[in-house]
Chain A
């Protein structure tokens, strides 16, 4: 059972409708969390909260949108976790990272459905999401933490921004690669399909697997 397949028009379905929907649920909720979070991070960015409907509204909605983001992340975990386990070729990918960065893609080991960078993104967001959820629950209701447990609040005010900063690093690279750097990738998460050339260059193992599937079905 695979969500992806080679389409009749010769293109390759990379992300199903369900996957794209979950991706953008996470994406839009993350952007809201990022913007309101940045507003509370620095006085110089506080205007963002004003633009987004007022700082009080931002404070009220940020935790709820956080729950939506966590929900989307859990759905992603259910969809993708089995395809995100590290393999030998991932280690080779990291060794060949320089080639990948310099766009020498023919020197990069071929990847399965997800390459090592995508796996890093996935697990990074998952673990940071868990940390953000736990610390966020404390920051949601700081007044319910008794004085004797105040160290929980101290941990939360460090963990929440620190984990958020890690996700921002991942997010910057993810958005850059998905929109500007890797041409063809953005369409895969909008319309869902990629060209065979794209599939073969960046995810040859996955593509060949699809070919075998298609041949077996005939």
Chain B
């Protein structure tokens, strides 16, 4: 699959058209994470740090495999562990590799006010351009997956790039390259979707996971990172994967109706006062009719409006 070009589909904070959009045909890329074959080895975490040149972050110990609570601005790929007690009393160690989901409808990009700070390529990758980022953190608010993280040192926001630099060269993302069990796959969205559905069917029919299924949430018009889950009816069990993620209602309201109401009101207000001036004109400063009781100076009249109406 050729990914040699990076045609842009959407640009954050951008006025006017998107240059080159819809010109070339490109594949939708997709990462498939099969949580049922993940062994929690964290090779993907290390590969992510290695490839992206990030230093290792401080870890915490809380009596589990969870070495840090969530992804960080310089730690984009984190396996979320959950020791889940099933109804029959048995334990199930749920492991989910957490990273940017590369939404088809990216809340971060919708919320972003900075021109070109977030771009969505035609192949589906949502990428932050830190040289255009202004560090406002609106993307943090727009994301339904808690992914963009603000760096206090750089004063900009960072997240998983889906190794866009590798993908453009026809390579798979670093995490996929490192996975020893083959639970990570990379390819076109239709291929990965088909593979995921096959695996889910296998889990349902042969492994006794009746609720096994594919996580490709329609609320954000699908994602370019999809999961196979043993229990697709309870994605929250997998380290808080939202059941029905969508661009937050507040962000949609702010960027669509509120913006249009505000624009119309502001322009209407300016036109309104201008029309008032044309129709009624100014209130002419009245002439002083009498000398005030205090002081003996002669009253000044019409001082600042010599050209005013009588």
Contact = CB atoms under 8 A, between A and B. Distances in A.
A125 to B, nearest CB: 16
Interface in A145-198: 147, 150, 153-158, 161-162, 165, 168-169, 172-173, 176, 180-184, 187, 195-198
Interface in B3-39: 13-15
A91 B304 CA distance: 31
Interface string B278-310: 001111111111111111011111011100100
A142 interface: yes
A43 B13 contact: yes
B15 A44 contact: yes
Contacts of A197: 285-289, 301
Contacts of B149: 143
Interface stretch (B41-49, B176-184, B252-260): B252-260
A60 B263 CA distance: 25
A155 B283 contact: no
Interface residues of B, number: 62
Interface stretch (B131-139, B191-199, B213-221): B131-139
A56 B269 CA distance: 30
B150 interface: yes
Interface stretch (A8-16, A81-89, A114-122): A8-16
A49 B15 CA distance: 14
Interface residues of A, number: 60
Contact of B286 (A43, A154, A172, A201): A201
Interface stretch (A19-27, A71-79, A98-106): A98-106
B295 A165 contact: no
A7 B285 CA distance: 18
A41 B259 contact: yes
B134 A182 contact: no
A182 B283 contact: yes
Nearest to B156: A56
Q: Which of B290, B294, B304 has the most CB of A within 10 A?
A: B294
Contacts of A200: 286, 289
A55 interface: yes
Given A41-B259, A214-B294, A158 B254 contact: yes
A143 B293 contact: no
A165 B283 contact: no
Nearest to B143: A150
B211 interface: no
Nearest to B73: A143
B235 interface: no
B170 to A, nearest CB: 34
A41 B111 CA distance: 10
Contacts of A218: 294
B293 A147 contact: no
B138 A142 contact: yes
Contacts of B276: 101, 176, 181
B15 to A, nearest CB: 4
Contacts of A196: 288-290, 292, 299
B241 interface: no
A128 to B, nearest CB: 14
A211 interface: yes
B258 A161 contact: yes
B309 to A, nearest CB: 10
A158 B304 contact: no
Contacts of A55: 114, 134
Contact of B304 (A39, A56, A183): A183
Nearest to A182: B283
A172 B270 contact: yes
B301 to A, nearest CB: 8
B253 A158 contact: yes
A215 B277 contact: no
B286 A180 contact: no
Nearest to A198: B285
Contacts of A46: 13, 15, 113-115
Contacts of A169: 265-266, 269
B140 A180 contact: no
Contact of A11 (B253, B259, B289, B300): B300
Contact of A154 (B250, B289, B297, B305): B250
26 contacts: A6-B295, A8-B297, A10-B288, A10-B298, A41-B262, A103-B280, A103-B282, A150-B146, A153-B140, A154-B249, A154-B250, A157-B141, A157-B254, A158-B254, A161-B258, A165-B261, A168-B269, A182-B283, A183-B284, A183-B285, A183-B305, A183-B308, A184-B304, A195-B299, A195-B301, A196-B290
Closest 5 CB pairs of A and B: A154-B250, A143-B150, A197-B286, A142-B137, A184-B285
